[in-house]
């Protein structure tokens, strides 16, 4: 999945309005952030096999450290603890953990059985990628839902907050559709570098527009009320 992961990041803002959107999206993308790094390090491998599934020319035959369920639960715990130490935002830490773990579920739905339970373990996948229209409909609906949730719990403080946000949404859609019609990559290195650079640019862009938006007043109220409930023994 691609924009489906962004959808989760956007949607999590509703659960955790104080968490930066860039952190929530990075969590949802986490497996795909590690993957290019691990490819470059030679710890994981990919084969280019056009027609392998209808949607992607990639044969994802070896990515246990970035994409197995057990490792993603470990990464979820690590990220949540680091974030909690940084921002003292427990709700945000849980949202990050959900984001990281959600990656396995979404990829399990889309990939053919190449998603390992643990490194070296059995692999699973429902294979939505065997249908290009099916994949696009599911991801676009998810993306729209996530964007609307985010737009509903935040509001622009200025023009950057409004326009940089909507440009970002538009750009992701162009990237998603364009990717369908572009030729397959030449090498695993090309996939890794393109992925890494795109992720850095997109996360910086996310940070930028999210900083020019603020929680809707009702959302802030809900967050402030929460600790009083939680102080009960
Ligand atoms: Zn993935």
For ligand 1, the distance from its centroid to the CA atom of residue 78, given in whole angstroms, is 18
For ligand 1, the distance from its centroid to the CA atom of residue 71, given in whole angstroms, is 13
Q: Is 218 exposed, middle or buried (0-12, 13-18, 19+ CB in 10 A)?
A: exposed
This prediction's pTM: 0.89
Q: Which two tokens stand for residue 106?
A: 């979404």
Around ion ligand 1, residues with a beta carbon closer than 5 Å are 31-32, 107
Backbone angles phi, psi at 72, to 5 degrees: -70, -35
For ligand 1, the distance from its centroid to the CA atom of residue 103, given in whole angstroms, is 6
Q: List the end-to-end C-alpha distance of the chain, in Å, as a whole number.
A: 42
Give the least confident one: 76-80, 101-105, 117-121, 221-225. Answer: 221-225
Q: Which residues contact 180 (CB under 8 A, 6 or more apart)?
A: 55, 132, 136
Cα separation, 143 vs 182, in Å, equals: 21
For ligand 1, the distance from its centroid to the CA atom of residue 217, given in whole angstroms, is 35
* Per-residue pLDDT band at 231 (split at 50, 70, 90): very low
Q: Write the pLDDT tens digit of every residue in 131-182.
A: 889 999 999 999 999 999 999 999 999 999 999 999 999 999 999 999 888 8
Overall size of the chain counted in residues: 233
């Amino acid at each position: 999945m691609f924009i489906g992961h962004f959808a989760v990041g956007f949607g999590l803002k509703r659960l955790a309005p104080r968490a930066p959107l860039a952190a929530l999206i990075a969590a949802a993308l986490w497996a795909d952030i590690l993957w290019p790094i691990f490819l470059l390090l030679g710890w994981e491998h990919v084969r280019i096999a056009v027609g392998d599934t209808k949607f992607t020319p990639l044969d994802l035959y070896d990515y246990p450290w970035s994409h197995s369920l057990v490792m993603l639960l470990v990464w979820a715990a690590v990220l949540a603890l680091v974030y909690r130490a940084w921002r003292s935002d427990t709700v945000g830490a849980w949202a990050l953990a959900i984001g990281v773990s959600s990656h396995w579920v979404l990829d399990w739905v889309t990939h053919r059985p190449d998603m390992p339970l643990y490194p070296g373990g059995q692999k699973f996948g429902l294979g939505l990628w065997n249908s290009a229209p099916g994949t696009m409909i599911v991801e676009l609906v998810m993306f729209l839902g996530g964007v609307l949730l985010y737009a509903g719990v935040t509001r622009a403080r200025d023009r950057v907050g409004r326009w940089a946000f909507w440009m970002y949404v538009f750009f992701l859609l162009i990237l998603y559709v364009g990717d369908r019609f572009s030729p397959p990559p030449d090498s695993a290195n090309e996939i890794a570098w393109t992925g890494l650079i795109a992720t850095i640019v997109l996360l910086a862009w996310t940070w930028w527009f999210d900083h020019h938006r603020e929680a809707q007043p009702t959302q802030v109220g809900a967050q402030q009320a929460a600790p009083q409930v939680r102080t009960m023994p």
